[in-house]
């Protein structure tokens, strides 16, 4: 039996989607582009945010300060080191843990769990 078929049968028996094989790694290529900070979870119910983030290939970070304005502000620089993300000076505290959930979703664990999806906010 081919390996892919064996894996598919295993995932089916475990009731897992094919995407459960492996989440993407946190890399510069993964982060580059526009993202939407959908919500922040401070340990209770997630609070909606809907603010745009932009990770530029040269390491610059831009973000939407307010949902009241679509204007993007320069938030500093971003850097990945050992699977952790630093966005300074806007998100102080050094390198923070990131959970990559899929090609289009990750969680930035800062003072709250920041739930972020690929693409612009609605």
Q: What ranges do the domains of the chain cover?
A: 23-118
What pLDDT band is residue 21 in, cutting at 50, 70 and 90? low
pLDDT of residue 70: 85
Q: Per residue, what are the HEC states of 50-103?
A: EEEEEECCCCEEEEECCCCCCCEEEEEEEEEECCEEEEEECEEEEEEEEEEEEC
Q: Is the pLDDT of residue 19 over 80?
A: no
Average pLDDT over residues 19-46: 89
Query: Could you give the percent of the chain with pLDDT greater than 90?
Result: 64
What pLDDT band is residue 9 in, cutting at 50, 70 and 90? very low
The CATH T-level fold of domain 23-118 is Lipocalin (2.40.128)
Angstrom distance (rounded) from CA 95 to CA 84: 5
């Amino acid at each position: 039996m081919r390996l892919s078929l064996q894996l598919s049968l295993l995932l089916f028996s475990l009731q897992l989607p094919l995407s459960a094989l492996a989440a993407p790694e946190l890399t510069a290529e993964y982060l580059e582009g526009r993202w939407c900070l959908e919500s922040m979870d401070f340990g209770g119910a997630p609070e909606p945010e809907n603010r745009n983030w932009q990770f530029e290939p040269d390491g610059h970070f831009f973000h939407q300060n307010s949902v009241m304005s679509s204007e993007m502000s320069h938030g500093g620089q971003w850097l990945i080191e050992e699977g952790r993300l630093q966005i300074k000076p806007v998100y102080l505290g050094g390198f923070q843990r990131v959970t990559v959930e899929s090609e289009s979703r990750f969680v930035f664990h800062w003072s709250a769990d920041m739930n972020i999806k690929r693409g612009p906010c609605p």
